[in-house]
Amino acid sequence: MLRVPKAMRQRIRFLTYNVHSCFGTDRRLDPARIAAVIAECQPDVIALQEVDVGRARTGGIDQAHMIATHLNMEAEFHPALHLEDEKYGDAVLTALPMRLIKAAPLPSSSEPRGALWVEIDVAAVKLQVIVTHLGLRGAERLRQATALLGPGWLGGMAQGDAHVVLAGDLNATGRSTAYRLLARQLSDAQLLTGVKPRPTFPSRLPLLRIDHVLVGKGIEVASCRVHGSTLARSASDHLPLLAELDVVMRDK
């Protein structure tokens, strides 16, 4: 008798958050407040954008490390912008086993942009996580999205690897060409829940849905919501997006 593989699932809570260098809408610099907002969501994996490390404007601190320490997690950071000792870019935080796969720039015509790819152990699965922050101009975003789909990133993953999450501030709404290009290969977590998707920016009065969690076929979305607590509305100019993801494993 043919044995049908049984699907098993491991749920994780995944958060993406543009932290605006930890400057709030009240103009107060407060990494601990950002950590408190994240703690409200109780995530297992966190993708951060606009993180300062060693920058004079934010007191020279390592924001990725500081936030991770508050949350009892480890951080992997990649600077999209690196001027002498000052760095600015993206980070992934988690308490799960994590290793760096790749950190590299993306094609940029104005402000430098990059992406960070880590592999995280979720039960028996190697979860591939890419965090990025795309450019402000449509043509630039399209080049960056094309690069992310190419052999150096998503296109270079093992054939059939469906345990993928691409997350971050894409500076792109659902009508954006860059967004549509990415959404042909990955699924938008907010659109898989049956609940009307919500905007994330600006945090005080959200109008634009530009922060996204996109997932591969090996991941099911249990829920996805914008976290709009009182604290979150003042901590950054973006609201965090929290997704409950079921990583699907097959019992061979």
Identify the structural domains of the chain with CATH numbers, from first to last.
Answer: 7-251 (3.60.10.10)
Type of residue at 170: L
The dihedral built from the CA positions of residue 100, 48, 113 and 75, taken in this order, carries a sign that is negative
The model's pTM is: 0.95
pLDDT along the chain (252 residues), means of 10: 61 99 98 99 99 97 98 98 93 99 95 97 96 97 98 84 94 97 97 96 98 97 98 99 93 55
pLDDT, position 110:
85
Cis amide linkage into residue 202, ω under 30° from 0: yes
pLDDT, position 160:
59
Helix (H, G, I), strand (E, B) or coil at 146: helix
E strand residue ranges, 113-171: 113-122, 125-133, 164-169
| Cα–Cα distance for residue pair 79/87, rounded to 1 Å | 5
| Cα–Cα distance for residue pair 141/120, rounded to 1 Å | 27
Give DSSP secondary structure letters for 69-94. Answer: HHTT-EEEEEEEEEETTEEEEEEEEE
Q: What is the CA radius of gyration of the chain?
A: 17
Helix (H, G, I), strand (E, B) or coil at 197: coil
Kind and range of the H or E run holding 169: strand 164-169
Q: What is the DSSP code (8-state) at residue 151?
A: T
